[in-house]
Structure formats: C-alpha cells, structure tokens
Amino acid sequence: MSLQRLDAHSLLEQLDRFDALIDARSEGEYALDRLPGALNWPSLTDVQRHQVGSTYKQISAFEARKRGAAMVAHNIARHIEREVLDKPKGWQPLLYCWRGGQRSGALALVLEQIGFKVTLLEGGYKAWRNALRADLPPQVARLRWQVVCGPTGSGKTRLLQHLTQAGAQVLDLEALACHRSSVLGMLPGQAQPGQKQFESRLWDALRRMDSARPVFVESESKKVGNLCVPDALIAAMRSSPCVDLQLPTAHRIRLLVQEYAFLASDTGTLCQQLALLVSLRGHAVVNRWTALARSGQIDTLVQDLLDTHYDPGYQQSMVRNFSRFGQARPFALPDYSEQTFAAAAARLVQDTQELSGGSCGAGVGST
C-alpha cells in the first residue's frame, strides 16, 4: 500500500472527507494555527525540537538525527496507544507537518503499515496557509452580505445572536476574534487568537455558508482588537446593503453597563484601558473618565464616553466607509429586552426573504 498525497488547493474542497486531520508539529506550532478541527499528535514536542536543534549545532547532524528518531519513535508509540487502538480498519486520516514532511511522514509510515489508508498533505501547513489565503477572496465574493450598522450600544451583537437563533446565516467577526472591537472590547478570560488562526476560523466559517442565502455581519472596522479583517471582506461589507439599528440612548447606556459589567467591577483594568485613549482625547478628558470609574459612577461614565468618544463622527464615518449606508433602512427598537431583539431578528429575516424574492441581489437596505 502506498501513501496517498494531496495538494493544499485540492484539500480546500475535500477537507471534510477525512476521519481525522492530524497535525504532527509541536504543540507550540499547533497553538499558533492549524487546519480547522485538526488534532495535535506531535512527532517532536517544543522541548524535544530544541534539544535536537542544540545537538545538531553542538555535535553533528548525524547525532541529532539519531536522538530525534528515538524521540519520534517514543512519541508515535504513545499516540498509537492513546488514539489508534480503537480505530477501525476503514479509518482514513490526513497528516501534515510544517513543510518537508519528515515529522508527518514518520507517523504516516507507521499508520500505513498497520493497514490504514493514510493521506499526506503535500507541502504541509505552509502550503495550506498559502492556499487558504488565496481562497479567502473567492469565498467572500460568492456570498451576499447584509450589514448591521448602528452606534455603540445599539445592540448589533445581540441582534446577530438572535438572527442566528432565528435560522439566519451570521458571520460574527467579534466571536471569531474574541474581542468586541473597541478599546474596551476585551473579553474576560479570553485571549485573542493570532492573525493566522483568526483567518483560519474566518475561512472555515465562510466555506460553510450557503451562497443562496444572505449573510448578516456587523459593520466592523478594519481591525477587531489587534486583528485585521481581510481586505476582500472589508471591501464586500462596505459595498453591501445596510440596516441601521437604532436604540434610545438611555437603553444604550443600560445595555452597555450590562454587557461590560466585568469592567465596571474591575476599576483597575477599566482605567488602564481608558488610558489608551489619551492620544485621541487628551489627559483632561481621560482623567475625568477615570475619576468617574473610581467613584462608581458607571452610568455617567458610559454617557460621557458615548457623547465624547463614540458618537461624534459616527454618521460621517458610516457614510464615508459604507457606500450604501445612505440607503440603509432604519430599524428602530423600543428597548433592549431579549423579546424585542428576538422579534426584530424574526422581522429582519422575513423582510430580507421578501426583498430577496424580488431580486437576487436585493437586501434589507435596498430601495
């Protein structure tokens, strides 16, 4: 039996046909990025890679290969004992490592000798990464986008959640990026993924979308926290139909206080994040905000942030960046209750279906 090999571009369309995707790189490489759903079976751990590299430099390549081979053999044995003994003969995994195929090839050889049908990814993760980046723009282009706009605190993310519950297709960039996009947008206990992993998550979400149905997305800027939204997606969003979500200011304040309760209870972190706005708003304004935070006047702080930082220039920014925002349909909500958002999501799905029935390219914001 000979090993099967598959190039990265072909794998883009065949990713789901394998029973398992196995990443033979170290745990550190795997943590940075991997194929969607891949399992990590390191042929060499981070520590072992360092040991082999040191042996290569300090002694010889031959000695490094001997020691590395022993480590790889031990690791493969453990993987088989832990993961393979219960697998049926028809189990079909795809294996990959960084590029050269030595680490994945060693594991593949053993699995093939057992009797499994094993496929190796040609060019490894590096080839996959290049293929994925090239496939992002076509994935974006095949979809019809509906952009949910609205000022800070209007409930855009909450509406997206209810749209998902209503059966609509939603691309939640903030969930993929583990960040709420603003300077105060960190999520408690969650670090953002790296740029590569963010793009992998994005591609995996896009490929699962039905091109016959619209995709709702929030009107994000080019960056979500520290991560950059790919240019093709930003361009598509900015030229797509929009809906303008509106919520009374008093309810926006209460919604923000509710959603950012973790910051309100952690004054030190809140003040630290507010300090990042000194370059934009100056020391006097930021000092006023931190004083409000320390005195527990959170509602007043939120009101001041909206008036001084978030709301100024919002309309101009939207008109400047989203070409169809001027034709956006106003979508006014009386309050921020779950029932209100659920009803709004159901109505938005129905309206979009009706408009799409009249014209394949029409959307909620179309006229």
Residues carrying an active site annotation = 97
- Gap between the Cα atoms of 212 and 143, Å rounded: 8
Q: Which tokens is 300 given?
A: 């007043």
Q: Residue for token digits 């029973």?
A: 19
Which stretch of DSSP H or E encloses residue 23? Answer: strand 20-23
Within the chain, how many helices (H) and strands (E) appear? 17, 12
> For residue 159, which amino acid is it?
L
Write the DSSP assignment of 297-329 as a string of letters. Answer: -HHHHHHHHIIIIISTTHHHHHHHH-TTGGGPE
How many CB atoms neighbour CB 51 within 10 A?
16
Write the DSSP assignment of 50-65 as a string of letters. Answer: HHHHHHHHHT-HHHHH
- Gap between the Cα atoms of 324 and 366, Å rounded: 8
Whose CA is closest to 122, among 16, 40, 29, 5? 5
Q: Residue for token digits 């409000």?
A: 292
Alpha helices in 4-152 (DSSP H): 8-14, 27-32, 46-58, 61-79, 102-114, 124-141
How many CB atoms neighbour CB 64 within 10 A?
18
> For residue 295, which amino acid is it?
S
CA 65 to chain centre: 38
How many CB atoms neighbour CB 114 within 10 A?
13
Q: Which tokens is 240 given?
A: 């797509």
- Gap between the Cα atoms of 65 and 72, Å rounded: 10
Q: Residue for token digits 């399992």?
A: 39
